[in-house]
Amino acid sequence: MTDERRLKIAIQKSGRLSDTSLKLLERAGLQFSRSKDKLFWFGRNLPVDLLLVRDDDIPRLLLEGVCELGIVGENVAAEALLGAAARRPGAALDALASLDFGHCRLMLALPEGQQYTGPEQLEGARIATSYPQLTARWLQENGISADIVELSGAVEIAPSLGTADAIVDLVSTGTTLRANHLKAVDTVLESQAALYRGPSKLDAEQQNLLDKLVQRIQGVQTARETKYVMLHAPRERLARITEVLPGAETPTVLPLEGQPDRVAVHALCTEQVFWEHLEELKQAGASAILVLPVEKMLA
Ligand code: PRT
Ligand code: ZN
């Protein structure tokens, strides 16, 4: 493929999403010639290159067709898209897959001592946030008119400085809020990292490559959630065992040498396997229970 037809994927250069995004692409079989501080890593085994940028730039790079795919938090994409759609109606990105990392919530938080009775108490209040678009939409959905104070960082100190009555900010563990004597009281948006596709037009060969990549990334995702379970069980308890195995397809049942009443059961479990499941399996008569990770899957 000529240089300009090579696909480009944007990920965060350094931050909470960087390592997991890169690992995901590597598990999908992409290899890059790394350059430690450059923004651009050349794809070695496929005509797919990597752009390493600030997460906030990813939606714009996709919308402008600089790259075809990007991994970014749903919070960042949603905020940018609301802004872009206001300037240019119809601006949109396709969310191809939620990636189950970078989980957080965009939340309304109040000073600890204050009661929260509902959004209506925000009428006329000053709300500090780095997410003015999402905050404005949420207020509008709730029929509230309030003042949005846009800050690019350190939003959590605004109430103690007296520049805001409340904040809307990202929360994961809640430690930052607690340290600033704030409490989260309402959710504006739940978020995780997701794979996005920009609107740029592709030729057939590029489209094929993109489809293959997306399928592989989805395959990595499914494999991460999937476990291969092997166990021994009394033949007569097979129905019960299959019932307990979470999200199992029809299990493979194999004879056990010298033990006509017992069989080996192998099953692909597409839902999380917890200790509780293993305990239930044991109770149902299973033994030698093994849970193995699945590295790759292609349905
Ligand atoms: O430099 P660049 O612009 O690329 O990075 P950034 O500083 O804007 O982003 P970064 O790396 O902090 O976060 C990237 C993405 O990770 C966010 O857009 C979210 O999608 C996701 N994410 C998940 C989070 C958090 N969890 C999170 N906790 N982003 C930010 N935070 C902040 C939160 O606002 C709080 O101030 O981390 C602080 C600690 O949170 P607590 O609740 O654990 O105390
Ligand atoms: Zn950022």
- State residue 91's pLDDT score: 87
User: For residue 12, which atom of ligand 1 is closest to its CA?
Assistant: 4
CA dihedral 124, 127, 130, 133 (to 10 degrees): -30
Q: Report CA 60 to chain centroid distance, whole Å.
A: 19
Residues 6+ apart with CB under 8 A from 162: none
Global confidence as pTM: 0.90
Residues with CB under 6 A from ligand 1: 12, 15-17, 54-56, 73, 75-76, 102, 104, 169-176, 191
What is the whole-number distance in angstroms between the Cα of residue 296 and the centre of ligand 1?
30
What is the whole-number distance in angstroms between the Cα of residue 202 and the centre of ligand 1?
33
Instruction: Count the residues in the chain.
Output: 299
DSSP label at residue 30: -
The domains located in the chain, with CATH, are: 3-102+193-223 (3.40.190.10), 104-190 (3.40.190.10), 226-293 (3.30.70.120)
- First vs last Cα of the chain: how many Å apart? 28
pLDDT tens-place values along the chain, 299 residues long: 788 899 999 999 999 999 999 999 999 999 999 877 789 999 999 999 999 999 999 999 999 999 999 999 999 999 999 999 888 888 899 999 999 999 999 999 999 999 999 999 999 999 999 999 999 999 999 999 999 999 999 999 999 999 999 999 999 999 999 999 999 999 999 999 999 999 999 999 999 999 999 999 999 988 888 999 999 999 999 999 999 998 887 899 999 999 999 999 999 998 888 999 999 999 999 999 999 999 888 87
User: For residue 103, which atom of ligand 1 is closest to its CA?
Assistant: 23
Half-sphere exposure of residue 86, counting CA atoms within 13 Å on the CB side?
10
